[in-house]
Amino acid sequence: MVGRSDKKGSRVAITGDLDANTLSIGANTQLLGEIRGRGNVVEIADTLNPQSVYVSIFGNGNHIQIGRRSLLQNMRIDIGSKRWPCSRSRLTIGESFSIGSGGRFILPNSGNVVEIGKDCMFSNSIQLRAGEYPHLIFDDESGSYLDVSEGIFIGDHAWIGEGAYITKAVTIGRESIVGARSVVTKRFDEEHVVIAGNPARIVKRGVRWIANEQHFAGRDDLEASFQAAEVHRINAEERGLNKADQAPVAPPQDGAFGKSD
């Protein structure tokens, strides 16, 4: 077991061939797991939030890159396996990426490519699998090998719902939403859509989503629309009551309730 901390709040606890590979771990990240092979690179940029990620890499020349301001809640990344190594695969995740607990990305095929844009929000228990190796799939008539994919591509500001499963050869357009428990099996290049079902299909077009009330970013029309909704009215009322409950009570002044003797 090798442990070290290069930046504030970071910790590396990896078994394997560290001298033959490159690890660059930013602040507030705990990296756990095993790396076997040579020329593998793991780069995780600084973040303000304490986070942890488990990586298992078996093979050569694989590359994991995660941008700054991420929030990885016990995420797991598997590239290859001890018996069936994988080489020259690439996982790239843009900045401000978040994923809930139970998330797992599996890149089993040499040459797998997974690209996820910036500002994406993945919920709990998301599974992403970029291939089927070592299991081999062929066309029965032609004999053609079928487990071939140019990659998985997810655009900027995509929201993936709880328990979604993303298979090889998938595209999800920017500003899109994937419904909970959906199984995404093909390419959806269209942007601003809701994708849901098993297998997933487009169920709504022309949508835009915002992570929370602090992210309207000048969209006064969206903010006004939300403020007119019942959920905002109730929240505002409760916040006002809570604020009143927490306000200090001033002692009564003479004459407020009659002068005391």
Going from N- to C-terminal start, the domains of the chain cover 2-209, 210-244
Under 8 Å between Cβ of 82 and 59: no
Q: What per-residue confidence (pLDDT) applies to 1? A: 40
Which residue type sits at 164?
A: A
Q: What per-residue confidence (pLDDT) applies to 256? A: 41
Q: What per-residue confidence (pLDDT) applies to 213? A: 81
Q: What per-residue confidence (pLDDT) applies to 61? A: 98
Q: What per-residue confidence (pLDDT) applies to 221? A: 85
Per-residue pLDDT 10s for the chain (261 aa) are 444 555 788 899 999 988 999 999 999 999 999 999 999 999 999 998 899 999 999 999 999 999 999 999 999 999 999 999 999 999 999 999 999 999 999 999 999 999 999 999 999 999 999 999 999 999 999 999 999 888 999 999 999 999 999 999 999 999 999 999 999 999 999 999 999 999 999 999 999 999 888 888 778 888 888 888 899 889 888 888 666 566 555 555 554 434 444
Give the three-state DSSP class for 195: strand
Q: What per-residue confidence (pLDDT) applies to 197? A: 98
Alpha-carbon gap, residue 192 to 173, rounded angstroms = 7
Between CA 208 and CA 129, with CA 178 as vertex, the angle to 5 degrees is 140
Report residue 233: phi and psi, to 5°: -60, -45
CATH 3.40.350.10 fits 2-209, yes or no: no
Q: What per-residue confidence (pLDDT) applies to 240? A: 81
Under 8 Å between Cβ of 160 and 121: yes
Helices (H), the chain: 220-227, 230-246
Give the three-state DSSP class for 154: strand
Q: What per-residue confidence (pLDDT) applies to 246? A: 60
Global pTM reads 0.87
Give the three-state DSSP class for 64: strand
Tell me the β-bridge partners of 77: 55, 105
